[in-house]
Amino acid sequence: MTDNGAPHIEVREVTLGYGEYVVQRGVDFAVNKSDIFVVMGGNGCGKTTLMRALVGLQAPLAGEVRFGGEDFWGAAEEERQQLKRRMGILFQGGALWSSLTLAENVALPLHEYTALSAAQVEEIVAFKLALVGLAGFDDFYPSELSGGMKKRAGLARAMALDPDILVIDEPSSGLDPLTARRLDELIVELRDSLGTTVVVVTHDLASILAIGDNSVYLDADTHTMIPTGHPQDALKNGDPKVRHFLTRGNST
């Protein structure tokens, strides 16, 4: 991705939906490099559909998604694949292969997209696992891990190719509050140390207020977004609907 002064990510007048059914219309925001940008909203608001449009799983019905000024969905397939390789994705459940060890899971994208030697892959895998606090767990299988450890292992795999952008779906889902907080801290540490731009899709109040630099709220009632800025500012002075959402916490 080129660094030409443009926002790292731009979503321009995007309409999301399935066939005739529109989930969101007029979604329009920019994410600056090294931001932790939060997409928030209750169930059924279109958060996951937007995430799918960002990571290349579902084309929007209208509008543009741009990375470093490049039109993602308007690009040729080969160019789009190149852009996707600069992006790491942490799905809600971690999405680890149960039949593979942690080391083998993290190594998958390295084997698929690079020509590195086995020794080089092993070195990178060990480093990525250490980065998320899982040094020494290389030979463990996902079934042998706690929920928080699975999320961290998924994060290590998402970071395997040193992505410019990291997209995280519901990082705290299924975790106890303490484990969720530690994962939030890890996300911030990775951003600070690696300069990665992070997009977090979540409805979790604690995560939103703890790590977000900027945010948007997707409203399920009107099928439109509300720009919300820094979550802490939105909590105090934002749109009444957003303030209500942020004070309800996880009861949405």
Domain annotation covers residue 69: no
What pLDDT does 5 receive?
62
DSSP 153-203: HHHHHHTTT--SEEEEE-TTTT--HHHHHHHHHHHHHHHHHH--EEEEEE-
In this structure, is residue 109 part of a structural domain? Answer: yes
**Residue 9 forms part of a structural domain:** no
Number of residues that make up the chain: 252
Whether residue 189 lies inside any domain: the answer is yes
Tens digit of pLDDT for each residue in 82-100? 898 889 999 876 678 999 9
Other Cβ atoms less than 10 A from the Cβ of 4: the count is 8
Whether 234 is covered by a domain: the verdict is yes
Domain CATH for 131: 3.40.50.300
Please report the pLDDT score of residue 10 as a whole number: 96
Give pLDDT, residue 250: 43
* Residues 148-175: tens digit of each pLDDT: 899 999 999 999 999 999 999 988 888 8
Domain of 159? 32-52+86-247
Residue at 213 is within a domain: yes
Task: Tell which residue, 152, 145, 144, has the closest CA to residue 172.
Answer: 152
pLDDT at 1: 43
Please report the pLDDT score of residue 249 as a whole number: 46
What pLDDT tens digit does each residue of the chain (252 aa) get? 445 567 899 999 999 999 889 999 999 999 999 999 999 998 889 999 999 999 999 999 999 999 999 999 999 999 999 898 889 999 876 678 999 999 999 999 999 889 999 999 999 999 999 988 899 999 999 999 988 899 999 999 999 999 999 999 988 888 888 888 999 999 999 899 999 999 999 989 999 999 999 999 999 999 999 999 999 999 999 999 999 999 974 443
Residue 173 placed within a domain: yes
- pLDDT given for residue 94 in this prediction: 66
Is 24 part of a structural domain of the chain?
A: no
Cβ contact 212:238 at 8 Å: no
Here the tokens at position 16 are 């999301």
Give the global pTM.
0.90
DSSP state at residue 63: E
**Angstrom distance (rounded) from CA 49 to CA 25:** 12
- How many domains would you assign to the chain? 1
